Amino acid sequence: MPSASAIRSQIEAALAPRIPSALTPKPRILRPRTATGIAELDALLDGGLPIGALSELVGPECSGRTSVALSLVAQRTGAGNVCAWVDGCDGLDPESAAAAGVDLRRLLWVRCGRTERTAQPGAGSSFRLPEKYFAPAAAKKGLHGGGFGPHPRTEGKGMPEAIGGWLRPESVAARCAEPLPRPRREHESIAPVSPHPVARANRRNPSDTPWKRMEQALRATDLLLQAGGFAAIVLDLAGLAPECVSRVPQATWFRYRAAAERAQSALVLLTQYPCAKSGGEVLLRLEAGEPRCDESTVFTGMSHRVELERQRFAEPASNLLWMRKPQQRESGARWRTQCPWTGTR
């Protein structure tokens, strides 16, 4: 009687054309990761950013936050996946994204704080004040506006009205000691009018505030995570003030992490200072980049430095238990970016 291993080999050989490894399922990866496209950063993160978790990229301006996120999105869209970019500060440049290798046909760009400015006539929210609320124009002095005195015909203009108002009964009574009731002044209503197209374009939108943008970005991210189907979602709040982003409740980041785990999506948060805290799995702090001038007078790129401050589930180097304190691994990495005009080097 053949053994169980022989029977298993025969069954797998018979089903190999239709079901490869029918009786040998593939090992399940507990913590899958996606490559960022930067070799130095992927080596630091043991393969890349985690899938189904929240990762924070923190740093000042020109530190490489957007470059890392664009490189990640380029890797995912290049593999045929769909990604989303929630732009809370309206700072994404599509041309730079396309130059970084992002397939714009597979990228959903959510621009927060943008509203329709071409309103219909009569539907504008601005008001046109009457002329009496503005400073009067300077009077022209001189004969016909340029001589040595006013025109003789204008000297007595308005005199009958002034004398008539002075001789009215109420005016005469006002000069006496008897108090008179003050007439109640009716409030003047100003009807809204449609502003000029140029004025509409230059006028500041009342809903275009950091709080409104952040609220729209958080709602859009929540809807995308609940809908599913996105391999990577980038929430860009780097352009907003830290005091605004730090007021997001901690429960929001925990809810996003749970939703990303259910949808198996890599959620990346771009901020100036860390705010997710324990809600994020990976925290990368990027330092301000240093310009590179490989040529004498040509700017060729930037040199970036990143520090891994937190990683919840670090892969052990081996199964050996050290009796002493093991050697600490490097927690930082450096990489270089080059400008498109420099070409291949």
Q: What is the pLDDT along the chain (345 residues), one digit of tens a residue?
A: 677 778 877 877 887 777 766 666 666 666 789 999 999 999 988 889 999 999 999 999 888 899 999 999 999 999 999 999 999 888 899 998 998 899 999 999 999 876 544 334 444 444 454 555 455 655 555 544 455 555 556 656 666 676 666 666 655 554 555 566 676 766 555 555 555 554 454 455 555 577 888 899 999 999 999 999 999 999 999 988 888 888 899 999 999 999 999 999 999 999 999 999 888 999 999 998 888 777 667 777 888 899 998 888 765 555 555 566 555 566 788 888 877 767 655
Residue 81, C-beta contacts closer than 8 angstroms, at least 6 positions apart: 106, 230, 231, 232
In the prediction, which pLDDT does 136 show? 60
In the prediction, which pLDDT does 299 show? 77
Q: Where are the domains of the chain?
A: 35-114+204-313+328-340
In the prediction, which pLDDT does 332 show? 83
Residue 116, C-beta contacts closer than 8 angstroms, at least 6 positions apart: none
In the prediction, which pLDDT does 2 show? 72
Neighbour-count burial for 208-231, b at 16+ CB within 10 Å, e otherwise: eebeebbebbbebbeebbeeeebb
Q: Is residue 70 within 8 Å of residue 107, measured between CB atoms? A: no
Residue 36, C-beta contacts closer than 8 angstroms, at least 6 positions apart: 42, 45, 48, 49, 68, 71, 72, 75
> Quick one: CATH architecture of 35-114+204-313+328-340?
3-Layer(aba) Sandwich (3.40)
| Tokens standing for residue 133 | 């609320």
Q: Which of 73, 33, 30 is nearest to 236 (CA)?
A: 73
| Tokens standing for residue 213 | 């943008």
